[in-house]
Structure 1
Amino acid sequence: MLISVEIYGALHACCHEEFSVGDQVSWPLAQVRNSRGEITFQLDDHGTFDGTGVPVAAVPARVARIQYRDRVRAGHTGSSGLAGEVRVQDTVQVRAGTAFDHDWIIATLHVDAQSLPPLADWDESRHP
């Protein structure tokens, strides 16, 4: 099955390794349902789910697609949109390191559904 994982750009710059389309990865993921009933897959960055009761599992996956999602900033050199507009672009590789400069990475992963942790309710307002 295919799932999407959104990775905050600053966290990637801080702590994540390079990855490319086609790579085999194993990421610590939680499968959560928010207060609106939406189910998402979240990385367990910096112990996000420690002490919350939300199950986390190291999920083996193959990277199927990578996109960058950026909010256009006023006065940003080379921007082709209005401030506040969201721009999404495909890429084939995400480099590691502090020079990383995108708001979000959207990684589409091919996973075996049986490797996913159990679904848990997650109220982000109570656990920022």
Structure 2
Amino acid sequence: MIKEFKEFIARGNVMDLAVGVIIGGAFTAIVNSLVTNLINPLLGLFIGKIDLSNLVLKVAGANFKYGEFINAVINFFIIAFIVFLLIKAVNKVIKTKEEAPAPKGPSAEDYLKEIRDILKAQEK
């Protein structure tokens, strides 16, 4: 069983996934910092409050922290936009590495000329 586990872990897909999760976690921390330290104060200038996470709606003793929700939405859109840019860049690189076109076979004109020659040879 240990041997099978080692083979499973050694597969490229599992390692790629692990690297993706680690990088994703680090990237999330960067985006959270960007939103909290740069974007929220900028939005706070227009809204009148510096920290959006403190925005709370109190109804019948329940606290609705819509400011934190706004932060999460901003984080999502930033991450989604950056992932979009990364995928766009990868697709651009893949397009440039496309295989060379397959060698062209005979064209329809070549076939017609061959048929013409065969018909001429049969007439004689």
Tell whether the structures are fold-level matches, with TM greater than 0.5. no
- Higher-RCO chain (CA-CA 8 Å, sequence separation at least 6): 1
User: TM-score under structure 1 normalisation?
Assistant: 0.18
Which has more helix, going by share of residues? 2
Give the structure with higher Rg (CA).
2
